[in-house]
């Protein structure tokens, strides 16, 4: 359905002078009422996308659509989006009420209406009664909420959040993650959230765009991206992973570490070189005889929820294991895993090709 | 340790006494009925009376104040615009060269500025007097305002402007509702600096005043050359007190506006 789409990027490139492009031929669609996350390391172009949507910068090439209309040259103050900035960007000379009322006052709204709306917005972010406070009297988390209230009070169709949680401590950050997600559900408007924190992205999003070097590497739901990363970058960036080179003997049979294992991926050429990903939590420790892999425990860290055990096999490949059971450093142990735990990645496969292959072999699987 | 501290304090006190002694000496003899600056014969307010009855002097004081206030106000406006323009420049090289040009004007000797203005005004055929003095005062005050306002602008996070635009403010509203309030302390500081520079300028004014127009510093200079009259002492005392009042006033303004600064969490 076309009208579910609110923002569309069509082959958008952003380039400053003769420097390499910050954003390189990016196309995607954003649907109404969902929580999106742009995830990637710093310098990957995620903030550039946000600034393009907000209207602080214009694309060098390509088109940006908002509600079906091209908005390439529409200035920021005429756009139906509001931003929550990384440093909050609250106006220091105004108090909480005046900060939140800023946008409404510019729109020349009636005074009584402004008062009502600001109060409601502050109630929404649990800051009722803080109207007369000065910004400098507010804590980091409270400033964060003022910034959110200032954005939602304008009733925008899209709210952009630029790493808004990065300045908060861990506990507050986790709390705010819940609050933001809850807020988005209650308001029902589109959130586009920028972060470099993969846990944050996995916890909050309906849909994640993983970016690197100015390109979208992969997009999908958090489980899609976690379970089926498309390439080494995504596998490595999202969560921890063991990545080993391997060879597809035929569909559903992979060879690595000199052994053959059953797996659930298909659609490959026979004897194609690939990479296999196994998440550390999918590896179980067992005796060397029962194990599919034999490794030597090199080091061990207690992480609270689990032990992070670092092992090496005979070929020198590193294997990271998350286990609730302790291992003994220096011991030889066996590692075992299910066929489903192996995820096979083709070299240089694009998202489109990946999806196509997935569909093809799933159909083939059903046909059997 | 303690002895060292004491020594440092003594040093400081001595320096300040030496710096202020001539002023207090001058103030002391402004009350001398003897009419000279060596023997103190008796206390009198006669010299002050003379100052207050001198209508020519009164007009000159008014001139000086009008020049100072007008030039400070105009140069503040120009200086703020200049600082905004410099801040907005993208190219670092252009920015730095403009700043350097600005700073050269501040450090270059008044005599040279005064002489060059004299040449300029004569070539352009501008009559020396109120206008020429006002123009030259504005000219040497603008760089001072720029240098006072610019740090405030640099302190301001660029996301504040983005945020205002994001909330629907047009360019003018961004300026009037966000930028100007933020840099107000800098604007005040610049205004007061321009005011004091204008009030006590001698060299530049000396070059560009014509007949029939004079400011206080030039007038005191010419009177002091004619011979000693203690009314000059009285006048100097009054100016000194006025300056002290300005400084105290500036301190309070700064303290009041300074409170709302130094805020804003800077994420990384």
Minimal Cβ distance to A77: which of B169, B177, B184:
B169
**CA of A89 to nearest chain B CA: how many angstroms apart?**
5
> What's the rounded mean pLDDT across residues B35-53?
84
Interchain CB distance below 8 Å, A85 and B177? no
Q: How many CB pairs under 8 A join A and B?
A: 86
Query: Which of A194, A227, A260 represents a domain boundary (last residue)?
Result: A227
- Domains located in chain B, CATH noted: 55-230 (1.10.3720.10)
Please state the rounded mean pLDDT for residues A33-61.
92
Question: What average pLDDT does the structure give for chain A?
Answer: 89
Give the predicted TM-score (pTM) of the model: 0.79
Answer whether residue B50 shows pLDDT above 80. Answer: yes
CA distance B235 to chain A (A): 42
Contacts of B173 in chain A (CB under 8 A): 106
Q: Do residues A342 and A275 both lie within one domain? A: yes
What residue in A sits closest to B268 (Cα-Cα)?
A167
Residue of A17, A91, A146 best to disrupt the B interface, most CBs of B under 10 A: A91
- Read off the pLDDT of residues A68-84 as tens digits, 9 standing for 90 and up: 899 998 999 999 899 99
Which among A270, A251, A249 has a CA at the least distance from the CA of A260? A249
Q: Is residue A112 part of a domain?
A: yes
With an 8 Å Cβ cutoff, are B168 and A107 in contact?
Answer: yes
Based on the domain organization, do A280 and A171 belong to the same domain? no
Residue-wise pLDDT for B233-267, tens only, equals: 888 898 889 889 978 987 887 776 655 443 333 33
Q: With contact defined as beta carbons under 8 Å apart, do A335 and A293 qualify?
A: yes
The answer to whether residue B124 scores a pLDDT higher than 80 is yes
Give contacts of B264 with chain A, Cβ < 8 Å: 87-88, 90, 92, 135
A45 in a structural domain: yes
- Domain match, A175 and A264 both: no
Q: Tell me the residues of chain A between 163 and 182 that have a Cβ less than 8 Å away from chain B.
A: 163, 166-167
User: Is residue A95, in this structure, part of any structural domain at all?
Assistant: yes
- Please tell me the predicted confidence (pLDDT) of residue A205: 93
Residue range B62-71: mean pLDDT, rounded: 93
**Domain harbouring A354, CATH code:** 2.40.50.140
Q: A66: pLDDT confidence band, cut at 50, 70 and 90?
A: very high
pLDDT for the residue numbered A314: 84
Q: Are residues A207 and A247 in the same domain?
A: no
In this structure, are A216 and A325 located in the same domain?
no
Question: Do A42 and A121 share a domain, yes or no?
Answer: yes
Name every chain A residue with its beta carbon within 8 A of the beta carbon of B172: none
The CA distance from A75 to the nearest CA of chain B, in Å, is: 8
Rounded to 10 deg, the angle between the B180-199 and B230-258 helix axes is 170
- Residues A13, A107 share a domain: yes
Up-side HSE of residue B206: CA atoms within 13 Å toward CB? 15
- Residue A191: pLDDT over 80: yes
Residue numbers of the domain that contains A208: 5-227
Q: Is residue A269 part of a domain?
A: yes
DSSP letters spanning A209-275: EEEETTEEEEEE-HHHHHHS-SSHHHHHHSS--EEEEEEEEETTEEEETTEEEE-S-----TTEEEE
CB contact under 8 A, A87 and B266: yes
Residue-wise pLDDT for A105-115, tens only, equals 999 999 999 99
CB contact (8 A) between residue B264 and residue A83: no
**Residue A232 domain-assigned (yes or no):** no
- Domain edge (last residue) among A227, A258, A287: A227
3-class SS at B252? helix
Residue B87 has pLDDT above 70, yes or no: yes
The reply to whether A29 falls in a domain is: yes
Interval B159-196: pLDDT, tens: 999 999 999 999 999 999 999 999 998 999 999 899 98
Residues A168, A279, single domain; the answer is: no
Banded model confidence at residue B199, pLDDT cuts 50, 70, 90: confident
Residue A24, min C-alpha distance to chain B (Å): 24
Task: Pinpoint the alpha helices (H) of B156-229.
Answer: 158-166, 171-174, 180-199, 203-208, 216-226
A106 touches chain B (CB under 8 A): yes
Please tell me the predicted confidence (pLDDT) of residue B1. 61
pLDDT of residue B262: 39
CB pair distance less than 8 Å for B163 and A81: no
Last residue of a domain, one of A192, A227, A262: A227
CA distance B158 to B165: 11
Report CB contact under 8 Å: A77, B177.
no
Same domain? A76 vs A214:
yes
Considering only CB atoms, which chain B residues are within 8 Å of A86? 159, 267-268
A234 in a structural domain: no
Q: Are A87 and B162 an interchain contact pair (Cβ–Cβ within 8 Å)? A: no
Nearest CA distance, A103 vs chain B (angstrom) = 5
Interface of chain B against chain A, CB under 8 Å?
A: 157, 159-160, 162-170, 173, 177-178, 181-182, 184, 260-261, 263-268
The verdict on a CB contact (< 8 Å) between A167 and B265 is yes
Instruction: Return d(Cα B154, Cα A39) in angstroms, integer.
Output: 31
Co-location of A214 and A330 in the same domain: no
Cβ within 8 Å, pair B263-A92: yes
| pLDDT at residue A43, as a whole number | 84
What pLDDT is stored for residue B14 in this prediction?
A: 95
Searching chain A, which residue's CA lies closest to the CA of residue B178?
A: A91
Name the band, by pLDDT with cuts 50, 70 and 90, for residue B226: confident
Contact with chain B for residue A93, Cβ under 8 A: yes
Selecting from A83, A93, A150 the residue whose C-beta is nearest the C-beta of B260 gives A93
Residues of B in contact with A140 (CB under 8 A): 265
Residues A215 and A249 in one domain: no
C-alpha dihedral (B214, B220, B224, B226), degrees to nearest 10: 30
Q: Tell whether the model's pLDDT for residue A288 goes beyond 50.
A: yes
CA A237 from chain center: how many Å? 10
**Beta-bridge mates of residue A193:** A37, A161
* DSSP letters for A167-200: TS-HHHHHHHHHHHHHHHHHH--EEEEEES-HHH
Smallest Cα distance from B181 to chain A, Å: 7
> CATH no. for residue A76?
3.40.50.300
* Residues A358 and A301 grouped into a single domain: yes
Which residues of chain A neighbour B263 with C-beta distances below 8 Å? Answer: 92, 135-136
What total of structural domains would you count in chain A? 2
Q: Of B167, B173, B261, which has the smallest distance from its Cβ to A154's Cβ? A: B167
Is the predicted pLDDT of residue B268 greater than 50, yes or no?
Answer: no
Residues of A in contact with B182 (CB under 8 A): 91-93
For A153, nearest residue in chain B (alpha carbons): B167
């Amino acid at each position: 359905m076309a009208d579910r789409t609110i923002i569309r990027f069509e082959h958008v490139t952003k380039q400053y002078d003769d420097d390499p492009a910050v954003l390189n031929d990016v196309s995607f669609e954003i649907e109404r009422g969902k929580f999106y996350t742009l995830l990637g390391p710093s310098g990957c172009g995620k903030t550039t996308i946000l600034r393009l949507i907000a209207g602080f910068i214009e694309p060098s090439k390509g088109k940006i659509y908002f509600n079906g209309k091209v908005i390439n040259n529409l200035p920021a103050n005429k756009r139906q989006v509001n931003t929550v900035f990384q440093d909050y960007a609250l106006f220091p000379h105004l108090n909480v009420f005046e900060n939140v009322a800023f946008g409404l006052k510019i729109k020349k709204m009636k005074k009584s209406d402004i008062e009502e709306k600001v109060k409601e917005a502050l109630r929404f972010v649990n800051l009722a009664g803080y109207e007369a406070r000065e910004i400098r009297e507010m804590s980091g988390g409270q400033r964060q909420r003022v910034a959110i209230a200032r954005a939602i009070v304008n009733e925008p169709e899209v709210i952009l959040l630029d790493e808004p949680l990065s300045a908060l401590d861990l506990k507050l950050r986790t709390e705010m993650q819940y609050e933001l997600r809850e807020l988005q559900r209650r308001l029902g408007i589109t959130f586009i959230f920028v972060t470099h924190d993969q846990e944050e992205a996995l916890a909050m999003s309906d849909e994640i765009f993983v970016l690197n070097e100015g390109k979208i590497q992969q997009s999908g739901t958090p489980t899609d991206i976690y379970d089926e990363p498309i390439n080494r970058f995504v596998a490595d960036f999202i969560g921890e992973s063991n990545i080993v080179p391997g060879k597809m003997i035929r569909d559903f049979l992979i060879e690595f570490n000199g052994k053959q294992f059953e797996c659930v991926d298909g659609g490959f050429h026979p004897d194609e070189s690939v990479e296999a990903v196994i998440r550390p939590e999918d590896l179980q420790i067992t005796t060397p005889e029962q194990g599919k892999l034999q490794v030597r425990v090199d080091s061990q860290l207690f992480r609270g929820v689990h032990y992070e055990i670092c092992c090496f096999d005979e070929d020198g490949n590193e294997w990271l294991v998350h286990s609730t059971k302790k291992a003994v450093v220096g011991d030889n142990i066996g590692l075992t895993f299910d066929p489903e735990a192996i995820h096979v990645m083709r070299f240089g496969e694009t998202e489109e090709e990946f999806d196509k292959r997935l569909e093809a072999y799933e159909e083939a699987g059903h046909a059997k | 340790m303690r002895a060292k501290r004491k020594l440092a304090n003594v040093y400081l006190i001595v320096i300040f006494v030496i710096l202020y002694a001539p002023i207090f000496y001058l103030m002391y003899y402004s009350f001398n009925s003897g009419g000279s600056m060596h023997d103190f014969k008796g206390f009198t307010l006669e010299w002050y009376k003379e100052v207050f009855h001198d209508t020519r002097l009164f007009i000159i004081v008014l001139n000086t104040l009008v020049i100072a206030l007008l030039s400070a106000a105009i140069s503040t406006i120009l200086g703020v615009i200049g600082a905004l323009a410099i801040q907005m420049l993208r190219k670092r090289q252009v920015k730095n060269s403009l700043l350097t040009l600005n700073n050269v004007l501040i450090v270059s000797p008044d005599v040279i500025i005064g002489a060059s203005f004299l040449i300029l005004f004569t070539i352009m055929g501008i009559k020396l007097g109120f206008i020429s003095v006002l123009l030259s005062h504005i000219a040497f005050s603008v760089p001072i305002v720029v240098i006072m306002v610019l740090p405030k602008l640099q302190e301001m996070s660029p996301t504040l402007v983005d945020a205002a635009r994001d909330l629907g403010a047009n360019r003018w509203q961004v300026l009037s509702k966000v930028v100007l309030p933020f840099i107000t302390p800098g604007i005040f500081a610049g205004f007061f600096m321009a005011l004091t520079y204008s009030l006590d300028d001698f060299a530049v004014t000396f070059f560009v005043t014509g007949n029939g127009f004079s400011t206080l510093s030039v007038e005191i200079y010419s009177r002091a050359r004619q011979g000693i009259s203690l009314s000059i002492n009285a006048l100097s005392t009054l100016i000194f007190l006025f300056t002290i009042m300005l400084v105290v006033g500036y301190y309070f303004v700064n303290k009041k506006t300074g409170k709302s600064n130094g805020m804003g969490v800077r994420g990384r």
